[in-house]
Structure formats: C-alpha cells, structure tokens
Structure 1
Amino acid sequence: MLIDKTLLAATIAAGLAMPAGAFAQEVSDDVVKIGILNDQSGVYADFGGKWSVTAAEMAAADFGGTVLDKPIEIINADHQNKPDIASNIAREWYDTQQVDAIMELTTSSVALAVQGLSKEKNKINIVTGAATTELTGKQCSPYGFHWAYDTHALAVGTGGALVKAGGDTWFFLTADYAFGYSLEEQTGNFVKESGGEVLGSVRHPLATNDFSSFLLQAQSSGAKVIGLANAGLDTANAIKQASEFGIVQGGQKLAALLFTLAEVNGLGAEAAQGLNLTEGWYWDQNDENREFAQRFMEKTGRMPNMIQTGTYSAVLSYLKAVQAAGTDETKAVAAKLHELPVEDLFAKNGKVQANGRMVYDMYLFQVKTPDEMKGDWDYYTEVSSVPGNEAFLSVENSGCDVSTFEN
C-alpha cells in the first residue's frame, strides 16, 4: 500500500506542534489524590498532626473540591516518626492507591526517606513539617519541594536576634537525628559568623522525658544562651525542666530554635513568656489571617500554626499547578510549581527556587507575658521580619546540583 508522504509529514508536524501535555491523560484515575503523612500520636502530634490534615481538607474545599473537573481526595496516615514505617506507607500509597503527591512529612529523617522514594517513583512531595536544609541541598529532587521553614531560616531569625542582643556564647541541646544536627550546625555557623562562640553541645534521644543531665551540662558550660535544637514536646519538656533547675533565673537565656504556636499554647504563657522564636505565619497579623484562623478554630478548637497553615498553602499551590498544567502528570505539575508565584494567605510574593525551596518572608516573635495577653491564643508580639532572601539559602549556596534535574 502506498503512503501519501505529504499527508504523513503534515500529520507528524501537527503532532509536534501540540502542547507538551496534550498526549498525557488529563487526570490519572479520574481523581487527584493527596496524602498527608505525619506524626499524629507522638512528640510532634500538636506540631502538625491531625490538624495539618484539617488544613489540607480546607485547602481542597477552598479550591472548589475539584480540579480539571475531577474530585480532590485527601488521605492521611501516622508515620510514628519512623522512616521505615513512613517509606512503607508512601510506597503502598504510590503503588496501590494511586496517590499523586505526599505532603507535610514532619521529622527530617522521615522527609528525606520519603523524598528519596518519591524521586524514585517520579512523584511529587511537598515538605512543610520537617526542617533540614538537606531536602533542598545535597538530597534535593526535581519533584521535591520545601515549604514553611527550614533550619537556616530558624538560625537567621532566632539565632541572629539573640546574638545581636549580646548572646554571643552558646551551648546546644540537640535532638539526636538529622533535624537536630542540621539546626545545631546552621545556628552554630550563624553564631560564629556573627562574632559569637559555640562552647559545646550534647545530644538527647527523641522523645526523652528526662533532660536533667543534659541541662546540667549546659548550665555548667557558662554559655549565655542554651540553644534548644529540638522541637515539639522535647522543647516544651526541656523548658519546663530548665525552670526547675533555675537556669533562666541564673542569667542564662533559652533559645527555642523551633517552637510554634501549638507548643507555646501547650506550655502556657507563664512558662513560655519572653521566648524569642521564628515562624513564617501568625494568625493575628492581619484580617485575612484572622478570617482563616477563625474558620480553622471552628473546625478544631484551636488556632493554626505555621506548619498547619503551610500545609494549606502547599495543597493549594499543588492544585493551582495541576490546573495550570492541565494534567496531574508529575513533570508537568513540578514545572508549574517552580514557575507559579506563591500568593496566598500564608505567603506573599513567595517564589519557588530551582532546588524546590519556597522563599518568603519569615518573622521573629516574642511570647507575651500573661499580663500582656488580651485573650486566648494572643501569645505573640512581632519583633521583626526576615526577608526571604536572607532567611533561606540561595540555590548556589544550598548544595543542590540542579543541573542533574535536566537528565
């Protein structure tokens, strides 16, 4: 049979002229499915927990409940802060439940494990709950994104403020896993670059109940600032026990390097008053934040923190990227996540760098005294803002080789 070469050439040319996503199925399995994987029963249960699931559900509802005329589904699971459990859940979600993206991922060791698996499976992950800069550094991924905060932003915010205020000698109490190491390193480097000195450090197990030996080492160091390179209940317990040892009364300052509104509320203003901390969002900063927080309060009985609102933003941004790409195909959506500005109630003028780091302004807050509080959850006074380009590492300084993303 003779083939009309002119017709064949025209057909090929027409195909090549079609948009890149035109051959892809618009939405795989006729549903866009997002998994929220985090700690819902352990030391970080208040930090993100089931409240992040609620925030994700609110984002899906606020988007309209559908994208590209297909339903949005939010599923969730508790990874128990164990990388092996998290990886098994993520693998099962990807392989049998057709999950398109996994988000939140509290605990840096978990986030790194799931990001590695997501890269292998060509799936998108967006981290809001973990802190290590390795996520957008040496272990970066073309499909991995880091929202909300990281250890560098915390070091610049809280560490910078205390050094400027005269806290030029430090001793660290550090959680014994990737997050703690990264937070100690980043803050220690910033202290030294600012003319300060790190006198030492001690590492404690995750979810320990007894900080006495660690606090005594910190106290005997004579450091002006004891940096708590931990989070959640670990930080709260360390602060409580430091009070019992009279550490603050003795003239040393405590730097809660990762402490959010949820932990302040759990600890109480009496114990937390005067603490300096860095977050990327606070419910009482403006009317838009207050409106969202009130809706969140009606659903949960509590105000959202940076992690939970960051999860709302991550889900919303992912759905906007799917809409813009016209498909939920991973490469197309990842390209749109890198391309689109982040402009929502969580971040203003936010942008996603080539290494997946979302850059936006952070804020230094001080916890009010009980007398200064005007009502429930009125915990923070805003001290200053930290511009995004100072808070977060540039691609060039991150350690991420983005040239490999083209392969």
Structure 2
Amino acid sequence: MQLDAHIDDLSAFVTASPSSYHAAHEVARRLQEDGWTLLSEDDPWTGGPGGYVVVRDGAVIAWRVPESAGALTPFRVVGTHTDSPGFKLKPHPTVGSAGWLQAAVEVYGGPLLTSWLDREIELAGRIVTRGGDELLVRTGPFFRIPQLAVHLDRGSADTVSLDRQRHTQPVFGVGDVAHADLLAHLAEIADIEADDLAGYDVLAVDSQPPRRFGLDRSLFASARLDNLSSVHSGLVALLESEAGADRDGGDPAIAVLAAFDHEELGSESRSGASGPFLEDVLRRIRHGLGADGEQATRALAASWLVSSDAGHSVHPNYPEKHDPVVRPLAGRGPLLKINANQRYTTDAHGAALWARSSEAAGVPFQEFVSNNTVPCGSTIGPLTATRLGIRTVDVGVPLLSMHSARELAHVDDLVSLSAALGAFYRGA
C-alpha cells in the first residue's frame, strides 16, 4: 500500500475504532470483507487452510493457515493492543454541580490529563442488554472537560495541577440532574429501551479526526496512535503478505495477528496479554492440524512473536530525558526497543530478526533505549513471552505526546512498520 493510501486507510481505521471494542470489530469486519471466516469460541473449529478471525470482548486474533501447514508448522505472530489511556464511565454516571450536567468518569490507565482539557470528547464502547445482547455505541462529540480560566487562577498560566476526581468530570449540558439520564441517551443511540440497558463498558475518546500537517504533510496527529498504529500496520501486513510464504526454504508459517485489550492497565484480564486468549487460539489451531503435545512444543519453539507497540521519539524540548547517544527521531524508521531489565524482550536473536525483516522490506529502523534515570514502560512482549515461552522481539513507531488525547507520528514510520511486519510474516 502506497504512503498516501496507507495514511488515509489508517485515518479511516482510527475513526472507526474509538474504543477497544470498536477496534476489535473493525479488524474482524475488514477481514470478513476480504473473505476470512469469523469464528465463535463456543463453536467447534474445523482447522483447515484459510483465514480466520475471532473476537473476545475488546481483543481480536486473526490467523491464516497455509495449504501445506502441518503439525510442525511454526507461528509468526504480531502482538499489539487495542486500548488507550483516557477515561471510563462510572456507575450512576449522570451527576452535576452548580447547574451544569456532568458525566462521572474514572481515569483509565495513565493519560496525560491536561491534554484532555478544552476539547470535544465522545463516548464510545459497548452496552449489554438484559437478555445478554452486546451492542456497540458512540455518541459523537458530546462533552468537554473545561479548564479553569486564568483570571480565576493566575498561576495556571504556567502550570496546571489537576485533582483526578474533582477536576476531570466533563460537562455535557445544563439543567437539573433529576431530569437528565446519560444512560438513557446511550440506550436511545442503541435503539433499545432505557430499562433494557443492563451493563456497559463505555470510554472517552477525542472526537477530532486524524490529520496530516507540517512540512510536506509529513506529520500525523491522531487519537489512539498508541496503539492503533500497530494494530493497523499488523492488519495491513497480514492482508498483504502472501499465504504460505516459505520460511528460509523450510515449512511455511501460520501468520497470526493478536490485538489484546487492557494493556494500559497491566494486561491482567481474559482479553489481555496475561490472559489465556492467545494460548487458547494457538492450542486450537494446533489441534486442528493434528499435532500431539511433542509436535506442538517443537512448533512453538520454532515460532516468533513481534510485539509491536508505540515508542518514544527524542523530544526537541526535553532532550535530557533521552539517552545521550541513542536518540531515535520520528521519520527515520520504526524502533527496535531494547531494555537490559527485560521491560522489552529484544535480545540478540530478536535484533537480528528485525534487521532481516527491515532489510527485506527495504525500510530503515533505529534502536531505542532509555536514559538510565528515566525508567521505561513495558509492553505485551514480556508478558506473552513469559506465558507462552515464544521467542519475542519488541518494536514500534516513534511518537511524541504518548498518552496524550492526541499523539504525533511521522507518516514514513507508519508505512515502514507495516512493510517490515509484512516481511516478518513472509519469513524474513
């Protein structure tokens, strides 16, 4: 996919994916449109050749079994996540103060709180009816977290300090709370009766569309680039890579895209990377190929997982926060993420794999390592490697403003990541 088409498609993907639940369904929708088979976890799986996809809550796993696949065919997995930091709707969410109608929200993950001020935010997620039906909902621009005017706090012109409870509750109107019902509004959007809404997982997201700008329109600003940039790149790579590509002249690999939920919370859920979702799917795939326990273990030992999650570009206004020598810059290629304490999984073999994949794709890459005084975060990589024992390497596109309501990337890196992941799927 050419650069302009790739960025336009990423914009459409992000726009269609305001929540992890929407993202999982959008991945499945696109694959079904391409002829892939949507499976249910509570149905039997035939396990024959072809492309398959399964959704678990806000996570999705897709895989392609080549015609020649057998009991010892290894996996090539791209692991990502669908969630982003922000806010989640609390129980009894319709509240108010001083005549304003407000939504009660809980902080989700570790957002840059000030980035959410004074912007139009929408609600998006899933609701569940009393009968157990799950429906996706989104409001469009709906509320706003207003900042205190500088006239009322002269010190706020230089620094803003937000109380996570008192200062983050958004407004969505004026009036009497007794005559407003936020949940009834969500039910109306879903076209159900208000008293039929029995449960909900609804989050906040910036409603501004993604946008290219800057010199040569090379910069790309959007909500949820951490980590929809990787989900999209992995999906494009999966669709564009050839089925059954030989792996160094040996057996073909089973290409897998695993997009987990709840990474921003630590991944400890049934749909997170610390949960059993990927293990369940890989076991069922292996069973469908007739593998016994010995063969399944051998195949996994020959498998690889690329953990693709956004990383940091060197910041021009805070260069001291970065390593003094290793200084990755947006626009110079995806990151190979390295950490001595295994917050990232990259080792010598993983570095060689990513070098081969990048070379095969004809794209550059650059290393990332943290300043020793600024500990890095982590990814689904160490969690998946620990749970499955699969060889793993950590990569991702460099960003500025990570965990902001609106993050910043370079268009070249977004395309290069997809190309390198495609080469990985084809057996580089």
TM-score, normalised by the number of residues in structure 1: 0.29
Give the structure, 1 or 2, with the largest relative contact order (CA under 8 Å, sep 6 or more).
2
The structure carrying a bigger helix percent of its residues is 1
TM-score, normalised by the number of residues in structure 2: 0.28
